[in-house]
Homo-oligomer: A and B are copies of this chain.
Amino acid sequence: MKQTTHHDVREAIRARIVSGEWGLGERIPDENAFAEQYGCARTTVNRAIRALADEGIVERKRKGGTRVRPMPLRQAQLTIPIVREQVEASGRRYDHRIVRREPRTPDSDAIGRMGLSAGGKLWWLETIHLADGRPFALEQRWVNPAVVPGFADADLSGISANEWLVRTVPFSTGTVALSAVAADGDRAGLLQVAEGDALFAMERTTWLDEQAVTTMTLYYPADFRWEFSL
């Protein structure tokens, strides 16, 4: 005799919601009622409905009960891509070339993003990512040597700066910003596109305990599409 699982209960309730049994914003039965209906413990129902709440299908409030979300949240679980994997996933050969790597005084933009105060130098790194030998994406990065002292001596011939940093400073938090920008002369030359062409920009700043580790921007040419599902 197979028991009723939280998975079963979750899908059963989801189906009833999708069927329109309860309208938008309407209250659904409480956990005990479902437990009796499906012949399982309340704990099991709780886990099932909690999963639906995590998905944004329903919202729960103590005493207020569980309601179908009036305006369903449209959420996506998004995985920040690693350029090498993007290239290899498309069946092409990945390679990268470091264009510049030097200590440099950060511009005001970098200072703002990393929340720096004093005026020391940071590492500046420009990397061109190649797919079958052709430009795939351009990476421009500032690295804070105060947080990652080993970066000066890092061997980046085999792995990218990003992978090196992830391995060295594994569990940091971060922010991401997406936008579109026009290619300036430098970026256009490195990516082999025309100046003024639209580029897809993904900017990431990584933090370890309130200190900015690195901020980088990846520029993709206009034929790039970043797809995911809801």
A222 engages B182 (CB within 8 Å): yes
B226 engages A71 (CB within 8 Å): no
Interface residue? A117 (CB, 8 A): no
B75 engages A80 (CB within 8 Å): yes
> Which B residues touch A18, using CB under 8 A?
171
Interface residues on A, range: 35 or more
Interface residue? A41 (CB, 8 A): no
Tell me the number of copies of this protein. Answer: 2
* Cβ contact of A74, chosen from B75, B79, B222, B227, cutoff 8 A: B79
B-contact 0/1 string along A201-230, CB 8 Å cutoff? 100000000000000000010101111111
Interface residue? A17 (CB, 8 A): yes
> Which B residues touch A196, using CB under 8 A?
196
B-contact 0/1 string along A159-188, CB 8 Å cutoff? 000010011001101111111111000000
Shortest beta-carbon distance from A149 to chain B in Å: 16
* Cβ contact of A176, chosen from B17, B76, B197, cutoff 8 A: B76
What is the chain B residue whose CB lies nearest that of A70? B167
A175 engages B230 (CB within 8 Å): yes
What is the chain B residue whose CB lies nearest that of A81? B74
> Which B residues touch A136, using CB under 8 A?
none
* Cβ contact of A179, chosen from B78, B80, B170, B224, cutoff 8 A: B224
Shortest beta-carbon distance from A183 to chain B in Å: 8
B181 engages A198 (CB within 8 Å): yes
A176 engages B222 (CB within 8 Å): no
Query: Bound state CA distance, A228 and B77, in angstroms?
Result: 12
B-contact 0/1 string along A52-72, CB 8 Å cutoff? 000001000000000000011
> Which B residues touch A146, using CB under 8 A?
none
Shortest beta-carbon distance from A10 to chain B in Å: 14
A78 engages B75 (CB within 8 Å): yes
- A179 touching B79 in the complex, CB below 8 Å, given contacts A171-B72, A173-B230, A198-B199: no
Q: Ordered nearest first, which 6 A-B pairs have the shortest CB separation?
A: A198-B198, A180-B180, A74-B80, A180-B200, A180-B198, A174-B230
